A and B are shown apart, each in its own frame.
Chain A
């Protein structure tokens, strides 16, 4: 594949990307995607002279709206990487880029750490030392991790169909028609096992045997914090674990639309991982709602949903939109009687992964999210839905209301 940076040739300077950029519009610190992307790229060679590209949040909206196929966000990501190679990656970026490591360290002591994190002094200290904004929406660690729950729950079931039972654990009490592999990612692993539980419930209800292989962080936080080499390492780790299933043609389903986009596309376009193994894993990866919508089209989705008499504002995260398949959650949630799903028109919640955690970017992230927060409030002051974890945390933080993954609504409707 050609280096995506050469897509700069397609830019006609129409500025549609800049007009749609949620960040540039609220801060002059980021001059805009066209500026940082195809425009500045013509002047880049050798040592980086960039500064402002650090304020690109990486939401990817620019690439989605470009009518001419310029891979703007991807050009920016590469420029940011080059810049960090010159000036070094801040310690803060290195820490927040490793949710898996943090999770492994913190989960055993989750109650203590969660409590500590709620103490204002601790967060102020983190801001002073690490430049992580004291108000940024840090999730709580779960005492029981999702894989632990999954193992405990299915200990008695032999993993008959598990092709790689050394590494994976399998679910499915019935005789399933098919088997799927579940990539839960760090958020479900350490912070929100409830989403994994909902996913298992929905998949099993539809007759799938679910394999949960050993897995690591998808690498997106490392990549967006400028550490490409470390990101490639964790991707290679995941590819090695997932490859045996992909080789058998098993679909790999993910509940985080950010992790799945990372493993589907960013590995190839931004990290330049062009090998066949990675491509095979990418080709078998599905966002869970994408997967279920395809089943629906094939008449293979159990649509005996119970009514949920609710009005739910739904925000499709930027990363989900980046998949290019639309908003499958909207169509799935329509199947639930009495559930009224209201699509939010605001572009972005602002946090863009770890961007909003950073001291110097927190207020930008909040300003970006403002439109979404107020729209959610005026739609339903009780609950919202969104497919990506950091977006949900930001929405919870910005609205003060709980936010769920669409799969949780589907699971709830399968009573």
Chain B
């Protein structure tokens, strides 16, 4: 078995793990991060993209609210390239208790969240599609943050500071000896090869899977999994984050993120972080709640539904409503808790507070290692954010328009050019079209890959030269994966789209007749996927 040595092993390639890896690397630790999938594969890549002002928590969880506004300000400084400065409204619809709004307003003031009541005229002028029956509206500094883009930048920063990031490496085991973790065995899921990693310290940031990771170190950690379902609507029904002015509840927020607007979320406890189908009642609920915010919402085109699981640390395993569990993060010191000296688990929390979570985690590790190295993650802008400009939805259009349109558009919906796709294929060296999707927003638009995903598959094949059945498998796998998100919302325009896509794949291409016999990767393919070549893609 190959051996590898590092100081810090971070498990989990979501926002928390990548934040920890960057923080540790910036403090001079040799750091390796592994994930069994792609970056942002888990909960990070499956949320609505809200950059919290903290307004949602002012009444229920003021601690969270204060953390949010503080981190909101820091992220705007260090990561503006992933943020759209959309601002946010809290609105009182006829379905909401009007008494809450005054409490909300005072709560914001108490927590230090800038808040201003705006006139309904101004509200409708800025967001003409909002319900004219809304009785009050408050503005707070909510924003939208693209988690794929933010995490890609985190990883590139971590790498600049010397960290290594291995994706599609599954943790097989943690090696515990005399109250201390000696190392870990990991498996390269692409090649099947196993590697032994010796390390001084392990940080478990595996999100919904962190109970499974902790168990390998014989530390019992119970994670409640609150499934949150969201629907992306085909275009930006609003350009400002719209929250219902009430205690956080199902379907109370509409977030404009990139080219879509996301209505979220539900909250329902599920047992398995790998399988949690979207249910019809969730769709109905979200469509109905959306109507309170934007009249005609139910007639608007839904693009895709998806769910993420909130990993919520649980001390009392019998609770069933996951919304009542704290949203603030949890840092578990397994030395005091379970007698394992060099092992921390960081879990729960929100995307907005990932940096803070990383900071307290690495602080704790330094304290345990008796090394004093201060956190600097709040001081240094992430790659592509150095010029302190916020992202804007028109960015890709402007970029393409300015470039004289001399590049073929592969994903027409999301303006992914041939050049960008080829770069990503060569950087990621993957046939996995879902990875390309996360890196490029490929196939995230109205046709959900109908017109672009075969182009991408063919280009990976022709660029990387893998066996054709691997390409075909990847294509079919993508179509199946995509279906999970579209079949719950197939009516109206998106049903039409599905039929057109059926026409293309099942009829024009007869995709079912493509050879898909299992082939294990050749040595050439393995070499092709060597780690040294791997680089995350700058997401634009």
Contact = CB atoms under 8 A, between A and B. Distances in A.
B401 interface: yes
B368 to A, nearest CB: 48
A13 B446 CA distance: 8
Interface string B364-406: 0000000000000000000000000000111111100110011
Interface string A39-50: 111111111111
B259 interface: yes
Nearest to B301: A9
B258 to A, nearest CB: 9
B259 A43 contact: yes
B431 to A, nearest CB: 24
A141 B429 CA distance: 67
A11 to B, nearest CB: 6
A12 B496 contact: yes
A14 B259 CA distance: 19
A8 interface: yes
A414 interface: no
B182 interface: no
B397 A68 contact: no
B396 A43 contact: yes
A404 to B, nearest CB: 40
A44 B406 CA distance: 21
A237 interface: no
Interface in A1-16: 2-3, 6, 8-14
A252 B353 CA distance: 65
B402 to A, nearest CB: 7
Nearest to B501: A12
Interface string A41-72: 11111111111100000000000000010000
Interface in B408-457: 409, 412-413, 415, 445-447, 450-451
A44 B397 contact: yes
Interface stretch (B190-198, B231-239, B318-326, B327-335): B231-239
Most buried by B among A2, A10, A41, A46: A10
A18 to B, nearest CB: 10
Interface string A3-38: 100101111111000000000000010010011000
A13 B451 contact: yes
B500 interface: yes
A232 to B, nearest CB: 18
Given A13-B450, A42-B445, A52-B401, A8 B500 contact: no
Contact of A12 (B128, B398, B401, B447): B447
A28 B496 contact: no
B296 interface: yes
B187 interface: no
B497 interface: yes
A42 B233 CA distance: 11
B405 A39 contact: no
B235 A8 contact: yes
A39 B413 contact: yes
Nearest to A42: B259
Contacts of A48: 394
B200 interface: no
Nearest to A40: B397
B261 to A, nearest CB: 10
A2 B296 contact: yes
B436 to A, nearest CB: 19
B236 A51 contact: no
Most buried by A among B234, B393, B397: B397
Contact of A49 (B239, B397, B412): B397
Given A10-B493, A49-B401, A43 B394 contact: yes
Contact of B397 (A6, A12, A14, A50): A50
A68 B496 contact: yes
Nearest to B237: A6
**Interface majority SS (helix, strand, loop, mixed), chain B:** loop
A51 B401 contact: yes
Contacts of B446: 11-13, 42
Nearest to B235: A42
Contacts of B447: 12-13
B405 A28 contact: yes
Given A10-B493, A11-B446, A50-B401, A45 B412 contact: no
B125 to A, nearest CB: 14
Contacts of A47: 394
A9 B493 contact: yes
A46 B392 contact: yes
Contact of A45 (B239, B497, B500): B239
A413 B87 CA distance: 67
Contacts of A2: 296
Contacts of A6: 235, 300
Interface string B491-535: 001001100100000000000000000000000000000000000
B394 A39 contact: no
Contacts of B450: 13
B88 to A, nearest CB: 16
Contacts of A52: 401, 405
Interface string B462-500: 000000000000000000000000000000010011001
B393 to A, nearest CB: 5
Nearest to B260: A42
Nearest to B452: A13
Contacts of B409: 35
Nearest to A49: B398
Most buried by B among A40, A43, A51: A43
Contacts of A31: 405
Contacts of B259: 42-43
B352 to A, nearest CB: 23
Contacts of A40: 397
Contacts of A41: 235
Interface string A114-155: 000000000000000000000000000000000000000000
B232 to A, nearest CB: 12
B493 A12 contact: yes
A44 B402 CA distance: 15
Interface string A165-205: 00000000000000000000000000000000000000000
B402 A51 contact: yes
Given A9-B493, A14-B500, A35 B235 contact: no
Contacts of A34: 412
A14 B504 CA distance: 10
Contacts of B496: 10, 12, 68
Interface in B183-205: none
Interface of B: 128, 234-236, 239, 259-260, 296, 300-301, 392-398, 401-402, 405-406, 409, 412-413, 415, 445-447, 450-451, 493, 496-497, 500
20 contacts: A6-B235, A8-B234, A9-B300, A9-B301, A9-B493, A13-B451, A40-B397, A42-B236, A42-B445, A44-B393, A45-B393, A46-B239, A46-B392, A47-B394, A49-B394, A49-B398, A50-B401, A51-B401, A51-B402, A68-B493
Given A13-B450, A45-B239, A46-B239, 9 more contacts: A2-B296, A9-B234, A12-B493, A13-B412, A13-B500, A43-B393, A45-B393, A46-B393, A46-B394
Task: Give 5 closest A-B pairs by Cβ, nearest first.
Answer: A49-B398, A9-B301, A43-B397, A42-B259, A51-B401
